[in-house]
Structure 1
Amino acid sequence: MSGSDAVLAVAHAGVFAVSLILIRIDIRDHRLPDAIVLPASLGLAALLALAAVTAGDAEPLGRAAAGGLGLFAFYFALRGLFPSGLGGGDVKLAALLGQLLGLHGWTDLAAGAAAAFVLGGIHATVMLATGRASRDTHIAFGPWMIVGAWAGLLA
């Protein structure tokens, strides 16, 4: 395993660990703490920069940065259009997940972003159909963003 591969493995393991923590918190408390999301985003960016330097290839770093900024901008716009539908934590989480997905390519970014909405929609539909939720029930979306992102990488 090259030095760049080792750094990328650490980056993936770190995002995976943070993902598990954030899923638990968002399901329980309906929030995605800045104290976790922001350092994770910056840490991922730093690890990706180190991997780029180690590999001598900045193209994946640029794609990751564009993915992070792009998904952040998309969620920021959605929050502006539907303020009760998404929280600020979801918008910040999009930057982290966009970096991860963008690193792997545009197809993975699109698949991971779309999967979040498909999985979240299925969950909400089942909750409504079984009477476990109403139209006014707050359903955490962060877990679906995270599961969708990882599913996008596995697709």
Structure 2
Amino acid sequence: MPVVTVVVALLAGLVAGAASRPLIFARAVPRGEPNRRACPTCAAAYPSPGLGGWLRATTGRCPSCHEKIGPAAGLAEVLTGAAFAALGAAGATGWVGAAQYWLLACGAVLTVIDLMVHRLPDVLTFPVSAGTLLLLCGAGLSGEPGSIGRVFTAAAVVTAFYLVLVLAGMGMGDVKLGPAVGALLGWSSWAAVFRGVFAGFVLAAAIALVLMLTGKATRKSHLAFGPYMVVGALAVSALSS
């Protein structure tokens, strides 16, 4: 893959990460609480108007009182930029590539929010699933190799599987992310669906084990599962494309 493709993907990811900051700030609140639109310390509008306000937001501090606000400086930008670059290096192209980048862009925002407050807001889970399905329909209409029928079937199967796991403690936000995960994996094959879903559980289990061994979590601790769903699905999809 040409270096220029990776560089362009990296830059696009950095911009997407910076643009996501206001959304993360507004939605990273406990369930049931209203969205935030101003600094909780000084009540200044966040982000402040204009391009300058958007750029100042990337510092992770309030432009008025300079208190820490939103994700840490560089977190959203570096996370999204590195992930975009990795996807570009994997050769993501066409409509399927667009679906992968869409899931990644929304998934990066969901990852930060889930890690901060352990929830996946509907305002993101619904668009990520709808957008993924729409872009894969474009892949089917353009004749890219894959199965649009399997896309919708896998989306339904994976969502139903996660819905059953609600009885074991899975959150409904994870269930609502299921259509996007199932659809993207279903484009390639049923084997990809199995591997991608399984990869999410393996990653979550590995991180949980590390956290327990280091004393940062216990067996009763709640683990944000959304990030591992997204990473597992994208990794397997990229390798299967």
TM-score (norm 1): 0.86
Q: CA deviation at 1:56?
A: 8.7
Correspondence for 1:125 among 209, 222, 237: 209
C-alpha distance in structure 1 between counterparts of 2:182 and 2:221, whole Å: 27
Partner of 1:67: 154
Matches within 5 A, 1:2-151: 6-55=94-143, 60-80=147-167, 82=168, 85-151=169-235
Unaligned ranges ≥5, structure 1: none
How far off its partner does 1:54 sit?
A: 2.7
Bigger RCO (CA 8 Å, 6+ sep): 1
The CA distance in 2 between the partners of 1:63 and 1:18, in whole Å, is: 23
**Partners in 2 of 1:6 and 1:76 — Cα distance?**
31
Q: Give the CA deviation at 1:39.
A: 1.3
Contact 2:103 2:230 in 1 (8 A): no
* Equivalent residues of 1:113, 1:152 under 8 A apart: no
Unaligned runs of at least 5 residues, structure 2: 1-92
| Structure of greater Rg | 2
- Cα contact 1:101–1:149 (8 A) shared by 2: yes
With over 3 angstroms needed to count, the CA separation of the structure-2 counterparts of 1:27 and 1:56, relative to structure 1, is closer
Alpha-carbon shift at residue 138 of structure 1 (Å): 1.2
Shift of 1:60: 1.2
DSSP-derived class of the 2:220 partner: coil
Which range is displaced more, 31-40 or 48-57? 48-57
- Is the 2:128–2:177 Cα contact (8 Å) retained in structure 1? no
CA contact (8 A) 2:151 2:187 kept: yes
Change over 3 Å in CA distance of 1:56–1:87 after alignment to 2: closer
**Whose helix fraction is larger, Structure 1's or Structure 2's?**
1
TM-score of the pair, normalised by structure 2: 0.57
Cα deviation code 1:55-92 (max 9, x no counterpart): 298x6111111111110010001113x1xx21000111
Q: Indicate the SS of the match to 2:217.
A: coil
Q: Give, as a single letter, the amino acid of the residue that structure 1 aligns with 2:216.
A: R
Q: What amino acid maps onto 2:212 in structure 1?
A: L
Give the Å deviation of 1:127.
Answer: 1.1
Cα deviation, residue 28, structure 1: 1.1
CA apart distance, 1:143 = 0.8
Task: Supply the RMSD in Å over aligned alpha carbons.
Answer: 1.8
1:35–1:95 Cα change, 3 Å: same
